[in-house]
Chains A and B, each alone.
Chain A
Amino acid sequence: MEGSGSREPVLDAKSELIDFQWKLGMAVSSDSCRSLKYPYVTVMLKVADHSGQVKNISFEMTVPQFQ
């Protein structure tokens, strides 16, 4: 993945991870490509920022990205 370990994390506003959920899906078809056939991983993080506010952040990765 681009940028892995190549820069130091910015220190301000660290959040706490409360929960980590994952989902494995398979994209079958779309309007731009009838034969997609790629698996992907969706991750949902529940984080609390320094003020205690909780929010959900989700993002997708293809299998090579995940690995």
Chain B
Amino acid sequence: MAGELEGSKCLSGLLSGLAQDAFHGHPGITEELLRSQLYPEVSPEEFRPFLAKMKGILKSIASADMDFNQLEAFLTAQTKKQGGITSDQAAVISKFWKSHKTKIRESLVNQSRWENELRGLSWRVDGRSQSRHSAQIQTPVAIIELEFGKHGQESEFLCLEFDEVKVNQILKKLSEVEENINTLMQPV
């Protein structure tokens, strides 16, 4: 039975299932589902601590957002521990993290966003004609629709109208933000 668990064939599938449950919020991925699909020969009593161990390792790696050096050091330490993992398993975990790191990180970032987020922006420019006198003047007007909402909730919409002056004012503010972002992102 232990041999089944030590094998690395199904571990990749197990890690995928764990990630779907812990990070991507996929419902219905139970311990029993994982066991019956991936390790049917293993008893539930043996499977439970194994699953807990793998879950703990994956969560540690994700929580620290480990780079590849940290990952190698961490996994090596796990292989040396009593009741730790095999080097085959370490290799599978390493490969899994390398290919899923970005997606998992994105899900973790989304889990900590509780305010409204901007979901979409549509725009149109109308040419308004004014003809108080005989001359017809085309005044361009920008109509912007913002779509926003909180994580998991339905969108709200806001429709705004801007003349050219206002558009330029907003663009100026956006440049200020961009400048500040560039300063913040400079390597220290």
Contacts and interface: CB of A to CB of B under 8 A. Distances in A.
Given A34-B64, A37-B65, A62-B109, A2 B119 contact: yes
Contacts of B177: 22, 24, 41, 66
A41 B180 CA distance: 10
Contacts of A10: 145, 157, 159
Contacts of A35: 63-65
Interface in A8-60: 8-17, 20, 22, 24, 26-27, 30, 32-43, 45, 47, 57-60
A27 B96 CA distance: 26
B109 to A, nearest CB: 6
A39 B117 CA distance: 14
A53 B166 CA distance: 20
A30 B170 CA distance: 32
A19 B147 CA distance: 18
Contacts of A61: 117-118
Nearest to B169: A20
B160 A15 contact: yes
B68 interface: no
Nearest to A23: B177
Interface string B148-165: 100000000111111000
Contacts, number: 125
B121 interface: yes
B112 interface: yes
Contacts of A26: 184
Contacts of A33: 62-63, 65, 105, 108-109, 111-112
Contacts of A32: 63, 108, 111-112
Given A3-B147, A5-B122, A57 B116 contact: yes
Interface of B: 62-65, 105, 108-109, 111-113, 115-124, 143-148, 157-162, 166, 169-170, 173, 176-178, 180-181, 184-185
Interface of A: 1-17, 20, 22, 24, 26-27, 30, 32-43, 45, 47, 57-63, 65-67
10 contacts: A8-B124, A10-B145, A11-B143, A17-B166, A20-B170, A35-B65, A45-B158, A57-B158, A61-B117, A61-B118
Given A17-B170, A38-B109, A47-B160, 13 more contacts: A1-B118, A2-B119, A3-B121, A7-B122, A9-B122, A12-B159, A13-B159, A15-B161, A30-B111, A33-B65, A33-B108, A59-B118, A66-B177
